[in-house]
Amino acid sequence: MHALAAKLIAAGHRIEIETNGTVMPDDGWEAWAGSLDVQFNVSPKLWSSGVAWQDAIKIEVLRRLYEMRATFKFVVKAPACIMQVNEVVQEVGVLPQDVYLMPEGRSADEILSALPTVFEDCITYGYNLTPRLQVLAYGSQRGI
C-alpha cells in the first residue's frame, strides 16, 4: 500500500484515507504526517450508530490521526449527538474548522428535515455542514 501511495504522490496525486478511527494505520503512514499529499477523513461512530462508546471512540488513535493531518466527520441523528461530538472534539483537540457534521438520513426528506437543526449546531460550535449528497441525488440506491 505504501509503494502505491508513493507512486501516486510522485505522479502529483493526493491521497485521502477514510477511517472510523478505531485502529491506527501502520507506522508507514506517519512518514507523510503533516504532508498535504495525504489526509485522513475520520468518521467516528456516535451512540446513534448502535456501536458501544468504548468500541467506537479510541481517543488516542483519533489524536494521532489528527496529528498526522485529518478532518473529522460525524453523522448526527439527535440533539444528544452534538454533545458526543463536542466531547470527542475537546478530548482529541480538534479545531472546529476540521469538523464536519452530516445529518443522518436515508432519504432526501429525512436529511432536509434534519438540516436546520444541524445547521444551527454548526453555527453555534463553528463546525462545517455537509449533507449526504449521494442520498440527496439518488435516495437510498446502493452501488453508485
27-78, pLDDT tens digit by residue?
Answer: 677 666 666 788 899 999 988 888 888 888 999 999 999 998 899 999 998 7
- pLDDT on residue 27: 67
User: For the structural domain made of 2-138, what CATH number should be given?
Assistant: 3.80.30.10
What is the C-alpha to C-alpha distance for residues 128 and 125, in angstroms, rounded to an integer? 9
What contacts 100, CB < 8 A, 6 or more positions away? Answer: 71, 72, 73, 74, 127, 128, 129, 130
Angle subtended by helix axes 59-69 and 79-92, to nearest 10: 70
Tens-digit pLDDT profile for residues 5-32? 888 888 989 888 899 999 988 767 766 6
Residue 34 Cα distances to 17, 30, 50, 64, 66, angstroms: 14, 9, 33, 11, 9
- pLDDT on residue 65: 92
- pLDDT on residue 78: 76
